[in-house]
């Protein structure tokens, strides 16, 4: 597989074309940002960990009948994926109050919900990824009603699969963000990454944070937290 031109560079990943039309190579960086790029830094080894963790979790989801863009791991930092056009919605599922939910509604972190919640953000850096509802997403033609229905049902299924897998490894899945893409024939598949950058992971016993909140909130032990998630889920 040959890496050709850089198609896109985001805050945490680069995407390259390959010699095959429908396939891309994703390359994970150690760069970390928060608050829409206002805070910047490096988390040493993050790219390697997020690549491995994302691939492990994508394979688990495929086994559970969730279609994804994943094709094959190539090396430590790079993965072959199907080329998709990203639906410009960040899909956030929450099981426990934290982050912007706790802030917006004035509640403490750690309230366990009876049912998971779902929300969308409009993926637009210039606007700071504002919260959006499905009517607004339809009005802006970001997705069709059918696509939104599909995305919602996949997102809740992803939650069930990940929640029970992670719990088996001593990790509570507090919340997470997903992105979906369209294949050339319009099929919706899960894309992007699933990692401590895009999920909140708490130790099930101590509630210690094992995710990017350690970077966002300057809690220290950032690299150790990423390593710990990798150790628990991959055995090293």
| Site for ligand TMP, rule CB under 6 A | 92, 98-101, 129, 175-177, 198-200
Nearer to ligand TMP by Cβ, of 176 and 180: the residue is 176
Nearer to ligand TMP by Cβ, of 10 and 186: the residue is 10
**Least gap, CB of 100 to ligand TMP (angstroms):** 3
Nearer to ligand TMP by Cβ, of 98 and 225: the residue is 98
Nearer to ligand TMP by Cβ, of 162 and 189: the residue is 162
**Residue nearest ligand TMP, CB atom distance:** 99
Contact 202, 210 (CB under 8 A): yes
**Least gap, CB of 153 to ligand TMP (angstroms):** 19
**Least gap, CB of 201 to ligand TMP (angstroms):** 9
**Least gap, CB of 134 to ligand TMP (angstroms):** 17
Nearer to ligand TMP by Cβ, of 3 and 232: the residue is 232
**Least gap, CB of 220 to ligand TMP (angstroms):** 19
């Amino acid at each position: 597989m040959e890496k050709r031109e850089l198609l896109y560079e985001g805050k945490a990943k680069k995407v390259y074309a390959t010699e095959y039309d429908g396939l891309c190579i994703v390359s994970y960086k150690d760069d970390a940002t928060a608050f829409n790029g206002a805070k910047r830094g490096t988390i040493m080894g993050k790219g390697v960990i997020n690549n491995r963790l994302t691939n492990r979790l994508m394979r688990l989801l495929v086994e559970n009948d969730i279609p994804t863009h994943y094709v094959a791991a190539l090396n430590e930092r790079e993965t072959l994926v199907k080329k998709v056009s990203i639906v410009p919605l960040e899909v956030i599922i929450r099981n426990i109050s934290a982050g912007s939910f706790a802030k917006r509604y004035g509640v403490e972190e750690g309230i366990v919900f009876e049912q998971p919640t779902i929300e969308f953000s409009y993926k637009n850096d210039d606007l700071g990824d504002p919260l959006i509802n499905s009517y607004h997403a339809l009005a802006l033609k970001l997705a069709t009603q059918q696509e939104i229905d599909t995305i919602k049902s996949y997102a809740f299924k992803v939650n069930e699969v990940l929640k029970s897998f992670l719990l088996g490894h001593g990790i509570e899945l507090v919340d997470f963000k997903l992105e979906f893409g369209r294949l050339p024939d319009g099929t919706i598949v899960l894309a992007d990454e699933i990692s401590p950058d895009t999920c909140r992971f708490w130790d099930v016993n101590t509630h210690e944070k094992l995710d990017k909140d350690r970077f966002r909130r300057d809690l220290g032990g950032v690299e150790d937290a990423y390593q710990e998630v990798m150790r628990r889920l991959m055995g090293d």
